[in-house]
Amino acid sequence: MKIPDAFRVIPERHSDRRGHFYEAFRARELSEAVGHSFSVAQVNCSVSRRNTLRGVHGTVMPPGTAKLATCVRGAVLDVVVDLRTGSPTFGAYDVTELDEATDVSVYLADGLGHAFLTLTEDACVFYLCSAEYQPGTMIEVNPLDPALDLPWNLSEPPLMSDKDRVAPTLAEAAAAGYLPSYKQCQALYRQLRVAGVG
């Protein structure tokens, strides 16, 4: 993707008269592609009504959390936002439509933010996470921040949690000092590279 350390994962689909099969995740291949190890510590499942807007969510460093997100039912407009202060792409975003028909996934390294808008009823997104959830470590940035100008193309007000609705803008979050730094994230990626993938 245009944001460093974010990747689209496009599996090879094998179809026949019964349906289709694909490998959604293979640790070694993903780790080689992203340049550092990715191990799964927690799996989350999000089921949402149409026009639900979730995010922008990230995790403070440490502990950080890398994610592999896949829409296994319905369709979502998935957005990755660079939350790393000092990054050459700080505040930039990348958009991918994830749906059950294409099997595409999105990988986000530690320090990147994630949001999505559900395009269908009963959309289901699975996340493979590199760390277990720790209360008090979540970062929320308002997905309707006018400065971010994320391309939701809303025709009606979205369904949002109260926490997301009142979340700070990216500038406010940066000024408060709770966003991860690009330098912190690069140091972690190097550590993971040494520990996992040459």
pLDDT band, residue 196 (cuts 50/70/90): low
- What is the rounded CA–CA span in Å between residue 61 and residue 70? 24
What percent of the chain shows pLDDT beyond 90? Answer: 78
Instruction: Answer whether residue 160 shows pLDDT above 80.
Output: yes
Active-site annotation holder among 93, 107, 114, 127 = 127
- What is the rounded CA–CA span in Å between residue 122 and residue 162? 20
Instruction: Answer whether residue 194 shows pLDDT above 80.
Output: no
Q: Confirm whether 127 is a catalytic residue.
A: yes
Which tens digit of pLDDT belongs to each residue from 12-58? 888 889 988 888 888 889 989 898 889 999 999 999 999 999 999 99
Instruction: Answer whether residue 108 shows pLDDT above 60.
Output: yes
pLDDT band, residue 195 (cuts 50/70/90): low
pLDDT band, residue 190 (cuts 50/70/90): confident
- Residue located via tokens 């990054």: 87
- What is the rounded CA–CA span in Å between residue 198 and residue 194? 6
pTM reported for the whole predicted model: 0.92
Active-site annotation holder among 57, 93, 107, 182 = 57
Instruction: Answer whether residue 198 shows pLDDT above 60.
Output: no
pLDDT of residue 12: 87
Q: Confirm whether 133 is a catalytic residue.
A: no
Distances (CA, A) of 181 to 13, 17, 44, 82, 173: 37, 50, 26, 10, 12
User: To the nearest whole number, what is the mean pLDDT of the chain?
Assistant: 94
